[in-house]
Structure 1
Amino acid sequence: MKAQKEKNGPFQVEKGKYPIHNPHKETPLMNFIIWNVMGANSANFRRQCEAMVKMHKPTMLVLLETRMGEHKRLTEVLKFDSQIQSAAVGLSGGIVIMWKKDTLKLSDISITSKSIHVMV
């Protein structure tokens, strides 16, 4: 089944997709998800998060308030290959930024127990 095309200014756009700023050069669209999860260490959360990642295909996923000390396994389950994290202290905090190396380049600038500053 072919995707329908709609006229949108000087170039064609597939229905349901956003136009890129330059129709003559393919530029990957960035799709980031930032979610205050209030706890990410449950099977129910993982199922919901996997479904959301599969549906929206984000280039970067940021989870806040994970309440987890380690995010490596979660990063693998969600099929990302890179992460920067700030571990939770007790049942408070926990931040993880996940992405795929071939899609984005992130540089960690500063990591504290309450924040992560990166350059994309």
Structure 2
Amino acid sequence: MPETGTKVSLYFPDEDERNAIAVNCIRQNGASCSGMSDPSKRALTTAEGKRLYLEPGMMGFDVKSAGHAMSLEDGKSISFRSGTTVNICAVENIGFFAKKITVNSPQALNILRDPEN
């Protein structure tokens, strides 16, 4: 959603101007934004700093204020980081299959198995 004061392009699907839709924002800070210097790297960033990015060989998202991030890198890895507790739950099975799985934790790492299964 564009923020107040942002320049946008409007699309009018019919003759009633009340049905106008903002279809894109017109960037005003492209020259001063370091994230726009390389055209092969694309990103969507919210005013709160949440970012979704697409780059050659990788993609991901991050929320720097909360310490959350996830990335998928071609031929190398899938990684995620959280500034809070991570819970992985499922009704059925959870499986991790790889030549190498690395889990790092600054404190305790708890793995629980439901005794009923």
**TM-score scaled to structure 1, two decimals?**
0.25
More helix by share: 1
Higher relative contact order (CA 8 A, sep 6+): 1
**Considering only CA atoms, is the larger Rg found in Structure 1 or Structure 2?**
2
**TM-score with structure 2 length normalisation?**
0.26
